[in-house]
Amino acid sequence: MSSLQGQAIFITGSSRGIGEGIARTCAREGAHVAITYRKNQEAAEALAAELEATYAISAHVAQLDVRDPHAIKREVRAFAERFGAVDGLVNNAGLVSPGLLVTQPIEKIRELLDTNLLGPIQCAKEVLPLMLARRKGVIINIGSVASGRPFRGQSIYAATKGGLEAFTRALAVEYSRKGIRAHCIVPGPIGTEMLDESRALAEKEILSHIPLKTFGTAQDVAEMAVFLLSERSKFVTGGVHVVDGGYLLG
Ligand code: NDP
Protein backbone atom coordinates (compact mmCIF):
# COMPACT_ATOMS: atom_id res chain seq x y z
CA MET A 1 0.00 0.00 0.00
CA SER A 2 1.16 3.57 -0.65
CA SER A 3 2.67 5.12 2.44
CA LEU A 4 0.19 8.02 2.84
CA GLN A 5 -2.96 6.33 1.50
CA GLY A 6 -6.06 8.41 2.31
CA GLN A 7 -4.22 10.89 4.53
CA ALA A 8 -4.89 14.64 4.35
CA ILE A 9 -1.73 16.74 4.12
CA PHE A 10 -1.76 20.55 4.27
CA ILE A 11 1.27 22.10 2.51
CA THR A 12 1.91 25.83 2.52
CA GLY A 13 3.35 27.50 -0.61
CA SER A 14 2.65 24.43 -2.72
CA SER A 15 1.89 25.79 -6.20
CA ARG A 16 5.60 25.89 -7.13
CA GLY A 17 9.11 24.97 -6.02
CA ILE A 18 9.77 22.58 -3.15
CA GLY A 19 6.15 22.82 -1.95
CA GLU A 20 4.92 21.66 -5.37
CA GLY A 21 7.37 18.74 -5.20
CA ILE A 22 6.05 17.78 -1.77
CA ALA A 23 2.44 17.99 -2.97
CA ARG A 24 3.23 15.83 -6.01
CA THR A 25 5.05 13.19 -3.98
CA CYS A 26 2.40 13.08 -1.23
CA ALA A 27 -0.26 12.62 -3.94
CA ARG A 28 1.81 9.84 -5.52
CA GLU A 29 1.72 8.14 -2.12
CA GLY A 30 -2.08 8.35 -2.00
CA ALA A 31 -2.60 11.48 0.12
CA HIS A 32 -5.21 14.19 -0.38
CA VAL A 33 -3.33 17.47 -0.47
CA ALA A 34 -3.88 21.19 -0.02
CA ILE A 35 -2.35 23.22 -2.85
CA THR A 36 -1.99 26.71 -1.40
CA TYR A 37 -0.93 29.76 -3.37
CA ARG A 38 -0.79 33.53 -2.95
CA LYS A 39 -1.05 34.96 -6.46
CA ASN A 40 -0.97 32.25 -9.10
CA GLN A 41 -4.38 30.61 -8.85
CA GLU A 42 -4.07 29.22 -12.38
CA ALA A 43 -0.88 27.30 -11.52
CA ALA A 44 -2.44 25.94 -8.33
CA GLU A 45 -5.59 24.79 -10.15
CA ALA A 46 -3.62 23.21 -12.99
CA LEU A 47 -1.46 21.28 -10.50
CA ALA A 48 -4.53 20.16 -8.53
CA ALA A 49 -6.25 18.93 -11.71
CA GLU A 50 -3.12 17.04 -12.79
CA LEU A 51 -2.70 15.34 -9.41
CA GLU A 52 -6.38 14.37 -9.19
CA ALA A 53 -6.29 12.88 -12.69
CA THR A 54 -2.98 11.06 -12.17
CA TYR A 55 -3.33 9.68 -8.66
CA ALA A 56 -7.10 9.49 -7.97
CA ILE A 57 -6.75 11.70 -4.90
CA SER A 58 -8.49 14.99 -4.06
CA ALA A 59 -6.51 18.21 -4.18
CA HIS A 60 -7.87 21.19 -2.27
CA VAL A 61 -6.89 24.58 -3.75
CA ALA A 62 -6.74 27.54 -1.36
CA GLN A 63 -5.37 31.06 -1.41
CA LEU A 64 -3.20 31.52 1.66
CA ASP A 65 -0.74 34.17 2.74
CA VAL A 66 0.89 32.76 5.88
CA ARG A 67 1.31 36.29 7.26
CA ASP A 68 -2.47 36.41 7.75
CA PRO A 69 -3.53 34.48 10.90
CA HIS A 70 -7.24 34.78 10.03
CA ALA A 71 -6.65 33.21 6.62
CA ILE A 72 -4.66 30.38 8.23
CA LYS A 73 -7.52 29.63 10.62
CA ARG A 74 -10.10 29.77 7.84
CA GLU A 75 -8.18 27.61 5.36
CA VAL A 76 -7.05 24.97 7.86
CA ARG A 77 -10.67 24.61 9.03
CA ALA A 78 -12.01 24.38 5.47
CA PHE A 79 -9.44 21.69 4.64
CA ALA A 80 -10.20 19.71 7.83
CA GLU A 81 -13.95 19.92 7.16
CA ARG A 82 -13.50 18.59 3.64
CA PHE A 83 -11.28 15.63 4.59
CA GLY A 84 -12.36 15.04 8.21
CA ALA A 85 -8.82 15.53 9.57
CA VAL A 86 -5.41 17.06 9.08
CA ASP A 87 -2.92 14.19 9.21
CA GLY A 88 0.07 16.29 8.27
CA LEU A 89 1.15 19.92 8.04
CA VAL A 90 4.17 20.92 5.98
CA ASN A 91 5.32 24.47 6.76
CA ASN A 92 7.09 25.06 3.44
CA ALA A 93 6.25 28.66 2.43
CA GLY A 94 9.31 30.84 2.79
CA LEU A 95 11.07 33.92 1.58
CA VAL A 96 14.68 35.11 1.19
CA SER A 97 15.77 38.71 1.05
CA PRO A 98 19.53 38.88 0.60
CA GLY A 99 21.18 41.95 2.09
CA LEU A 100 23.57 42.90 4.85
CA LEU A 101 21.76 43.49 8.13
CA VAL A 102 22.62 47.19 8.35
CA THR A 103 20.94 47.79 4.98
CA GLN A 104 17.69 46.01 5.83
CA PRO A 105 14.66 48.19 6.64
CA ILE A 106 12.55 47.06 9.58
CA GLU A 107 9.61 46.35 7.20
CA LYS A 108 11.74 43.80 5.33
CA ILE A 109 12.94 42.23 8.57
CA ARG A 110 9.32 41.93 9.78
CA GLU A 111 8.23 40.42 6.46
CA LEU A 112 10.85 37.67 6.78
CA LEU A 113 9.99 36.97 10.42
CA ASP A 114 6.26 36.96 9.68
CA THR A 115 6.59 34.65 6.66
CA ASN A 116 9.31 32.23 7.75
CA LEU A 117 8.73 31.98 11.50
CA LEU A 118 5.43 33.42 12.71
CA GLY A 119 3.54 31.86 9.77
CA PRO A 120 4.69 28.30 10.57
CA ILE A 121 4.04 28.84 14.29
CA GLN A 122 0.50 30.04 13.53
CA CYS A 123 -0.14 27.13 11.13
CA ALA A 124 1.03 24.65 13.79
CA LYS A 125 -1.16 26.34 16.39
CA GLU A 126 -4.22 25.88 14.14
CA VAL A 127 -3.64 22.22 13.26
CA LEU A 128 -2.62 21.10 16.76
CA PRO A 129 -6.11 21.05 18.35
CA LEU A 130 -7.35 18.93 15.42
CA MET A 131 -4.40 16.55 15.79
CA LEU A 132 -4.70 16.43 19.57
CA ALA A 133 -8.36 15.40 19.31
CA ARG A 134 -7.23 12.31 17.34
CA ARG A 135 -3.89 11.88 19.16
CA LYS A 136 -2.30 11.67 15.73
CA GLY A 137 -0.47 13.98 13.37
CA VAL A 138 2.83 15.08 11.92
CA ILE A 139 4.20 18.61 11.57
CA ILE A 140 7.16 19.29 9.28
CA ASN A 141 8.98 22.61 9.23
CA ILE A 142 11.22 23.38 6.26
CA GLY A 143 14.42 24.96 7.56
CA SER A 144 17.60 25.70 5.64
CA VAL A 145 21.32 25.02 5.69
CA ALA A 146 21.59 28.80 6.12
CA SER A 147 20.91 28.30 9.84
CA GLY A 148 24.15 26.32 10.20
CA ARG A 149 26.20 27.79 7.36
CA PRO A 150 24.89 31.20 6.31
CA PHE A 151 26.16 33.27 3.39
CA ARG A 152 26.84 36.96 3.91
CA GLY A 153 23.54 38.77 3.60
CA GLN A 154 21.45 35.99 5.14
CA SER A 155 21.35 37.04 8.81
CA ILE A 156 17.59 37.42 9.14
CA TYR A 157 16.79 34.44 6.93
CA ALA A 158 19.25 32.31 8.95
CA ALA A 159 17.68 33.49 12.20
CA THR A 160 14.19 32.50 11.03
CA LYS A 161 15.37 29.07 9.91
CA GLY A 162 17.32 28.48 13.14
CA GLY A 163 14.16 29.47 14.97
CA LEU A 164 12.23 26.77 13.09
CA GLU A 165 14.73 24.12 14.23
CA ALA A 166 14.26 25.20 17.86
CA PHE A 167 10.49 25.35 17.38
CA THR A 168 10.51 21.79 16.01
CA ARG A 169 12.33 20.45 19.08
CA ALA A 170 9.95 22.31 21.39
CA LEU A 171 6.90 20.93 19.53
CA ALA A 172 8.29 17.41 19.92
CA VAL A 173 8.80 17.94 23.66
CA GLU A 174 5.29 19.35 24.12
CA TYR A 175 3.28 17.00 21.89
CA SER A 176 5.06 13.69 21.24
CA ARG A 177 3.34 12.16 24.27
CA LYS A 178 0.03 13.10 22.62
CA GLY A 179 0.86 11.14 19.46
CA ILE A 180 2.06 14.10 17.41
CA ARG A 181 5.50 14.04 15.80
CA ALA A 182 7.48 17.10 14.64
CA HIS A 183 10.39 17.25 12.21
CA CYS A 184 12.57 19.87 10.60
CA ILE A 185 13.88 19.21 7.09
CA VAL A 186 16.94 21.23 6.22
CA PRO A 187 17.43 21.48 2.45
CA GLY A 188 20.72 22.50 0.89
CA PRO A 189 20.86 24.20 -2.52
CA ILE A 190 17.74 23.01 -4.40
CA GLY A 191 17.09 24.03 -8.01
CA THR A 192 14.03 26.29 -7.61
CA GLU A 193 13.31 29.95 -8.31
CA MET A 194 14.63 30.80 -4.83
CA LEU A 195 18.07 29.53 -5.80
CA ASP A 196 18.10 31.02 -9.30
CA GLU A 197 19.46 34.41 -8.28
CA SER A 198 22.45 33.08 -6.34
CA ARG A 199 23.02 30.39 -8.96
CA ALA A 200 23.30 32.97 -11.70
CA LEU A 201 25.93 34.83 -9.68
CA ALA A 202 27.91 31.97 -8.20
CA GLU A 203 26.89 28.60 -9.66
CA LYS A 204 30.45 27.20 -9.65
CA GLU A 205 31.14 28.51 -6.16
CA ILE A 206 28.02 26.92 -4.69
CA LEU A 207 28.64 23.62 -6.50
CA SER A 208 32.20 23.52 -5.19
CA HIS A 209 30.74 23.31 -1.66
CA ILE A 210 28.47 20.35 -2.45
CA PRO A 211 30.35 17.04 -2.11
CA LEU A 212 27.78 15.28 -4.36
CA LYS A 213 28.52 17.93 -7.05
CA THR A 214 24.94 18.59 -8.04
CA PHE A 215 22.05 20.77 -6.93
CA GLY A 216 19.16 18.98 -5.28
CA THR A 217 15.64 18.79 -6.65
CA ALA A 218 12.29 19.49 -5.04
CA GLN A 219 11.67 15.76 -5.20
CA ASP A 220 14.79 15.02 -3.14
CA VAL A 221 13.27 17.08 -0.33
CA ALA A 222 9.82 15.61 -0.94
CA GLU A 223 10.99 12.01 -0.54
CA MET A 224 12.28 12.88 2.94
CA ALA A 225 8.98 14.63 3.74
CA VAL A 226 6.95 11.59 2.69
CA PHE A 227 9.06 9.31 4.88
CA LEU A 228 8.66 11.62 7.88
CA LEU A 229 4.91 12.01 7.32
CA SER A 230 4.41 8.26 7.07
CA GLU A 231 4.19 5.54 9.71
CA ARG A 232 7.54 4.27 8.45
CA SER A 233 9.12 6.95 10.65
CA LYS A 234 6.90 6.27 13.68
CA PHE A 235 9.88 6.29 16.10
CA VAL A 236 11.31 9.56 14.73
CA THR A 237 10.50 12.96 16.23
CA GLY A 238 12.13 16.27 17.10
CA GLY A 239 15.01 15.85 14.67
CA VAL A 240 16.69 17.93 12.01
CA HIS A 241 16.93 16.02 8.72
CA VAL A 242 19.44 17.40 6.27
CA VAL A 243 18.93 16.98 2.49
CA ASP A 244 21.92 18.85 1.12
CA GLY A 245 24.25 16.65 -0.95
CA GLY A 246 26.77 17.02 1.87
CA TYR A 247 26.82 20.87 1.76
CA LEU A 248 27.09 21.22 5.55
CA LEU A 249 30.23 19.10 5.52
CA GLY A 250 31.99 21.81 3.55
P1 NDP B 1 10.40 29.37 -4.07
O2 NDP B 1 10.80 30.81 -3.98
O3 NDP B 1 10.58 28.64 -5.33
O4 NDP B 1 8.92 29.19 -3.52
C5 NDP B 1 8.53 29.81 -2.32
C6 NDP B 1 7.15 29.36 -1.98
O7 NDP B 1 6.76 30.02 -0.76
C8 NDP B 1 6.15 29.75 -3.05
O9 NDP B 1 5.16 28.75 -3.14
C10 NDP B 1 5.56 31.03 -2.48
O11 NDP B 1 4.23 31.28 -2.88
C12 NDP B 1 5.56 30.71 -1.00
N13 NDP B 1 5.43 31.91 -0.18
C14 NDP B 1 6.33 32.92 -0.03
N15 NDP B 1 5.85 33.84 0.82
C16 NDP B 1 4.61 33.41 1.20
C17 NDP B 1 3.60 33.90 2.06
N18 NDP B 1 3.73 35.07 2.70
N19 NDP B 1 2.47 33.17 2.22
C20 NDP B 1 2.32 32.00 1.58
N21 NDP B 1 3.21 31.48 0.73
C22 NDP B 1 4.35 32.17 0.55
O23 NDP B 1 11.25 28.66 -2.92
P24 NDP B 1 11.58 27.12 -2.65
O25 NDP B 1 10.51 26.26 -3.19
O26 NDP B 1 12.97 26.90 -3.04
O27 NDP B 1 11.53 27.16 -1.05
C28 NDP B 1 10.58 26.44 -0.29
C29 NDP B 1 11.09 26.38 1.14
O30 NDP B 1 12.37 25.74 1.17
C31 NDP B 1 11.31 27.77 1.77
O32 NDP B 1 10.91 27.73 3.12
C33 NDP B 1 12.81 27.97 1.66
O34 NDP B 1 13.29 28.85 2.65
C35 NDP B 1 13.30 26.55 1.84
N36 NDP B 1 14.64 26.31 1.30
C37 NDP B 1 14.92 26.40 -0.03
C38 NDP B 1 16.19 26.15 -0.51
C39 NDP B 1 16.57 26.23 -1.95
O40 NDP B 1 17.76 26.12 -2.29
N41 NDP B 1 15.63 26.39 -2.88
C42 NDP B 1 17.29 25.81 0.42
C43 NDP B 1 16.90 25.74 1.80
C44 NDP B 1 15.62 25.99 2.22
P45 NDP B 1 3.89 32.24 -4.15
O46 NDP B 1 4.02 31.38 -5.34
O47 NDP B 1 2.52 32.66 -3.90
O48 NDP B 1 4.88 33.36 -4.13
**Cα 122 to ligand 1 centre (Å):** 17
201 pLDDT band, cuts 50/70/90, is confident
- Whose C-alpha lies nearest to ligand 1, atom 11? 13
pLDDT in tens, 147-195: 999 989 999 999 999 999 999 999 999 999 999 999 999 999 999 999 8
Residue 200 has pLDDT above 80, yes or no: no
pLDDT at 1 over 90: no
180 within 8 A of 136, measured Cβ to Cβ: yes
Predicted local confidence at residue 203, as pLDDT: 84
Angle between helices 17-28 and 218-229 (to 10 degrees): 50
Which atom belonging to ligand 1 lies closest to the Cα atom of 146?
43
For residue range 80-99, what is the model confidence (pLDDT) as tens digits? 999 999 999 999 999 999 99
Fold of 8-243: Rossmann fold (3.40.50)
Residue 197 has pLDDT above 80, yes or no: no
Answer yes or no: are the C-beta atoms of 86 and 130 closer than 8 Å. Answer: yes
**Ligand 1 center to 87 CA (angstroms):** 22
What tens digit of pLDDT does each residue of 96-116 get? 999 999 999 999 999 999 999
% the chain with pLDDT above 70:
100
Q: Where are the beta strands (DSSP E) in 147-192?
A: 180-187
Residue-level pLDDT at 73: 98
> In the sheet that 240-243 helps form, which strands lie side by side, from edge to edge?
59-63, 32-37, 8-11, 88-91, 137-142, 180-187, 240-243
Segment holding 170, helix H or strand E: helix 155-175
CA–CA dist 164, 32 (Å, integer): 25
Q: Whose CA is nearest to atom 19 of ligand 1?
A: 65
CA distances 7 to 74, 84, 87, 102, 200, Å, are 20, 10, 6, 45, 39
- Using a cut of 0.95, tell me whether the model's pTM lies above it: yes
Q: Which residues are catalytic?
A: 157
| Parallel/antiparallel/unpaired status of strands 59-63 and 88-91 | unpaired
Residue spans per domain, the chain? 8-243
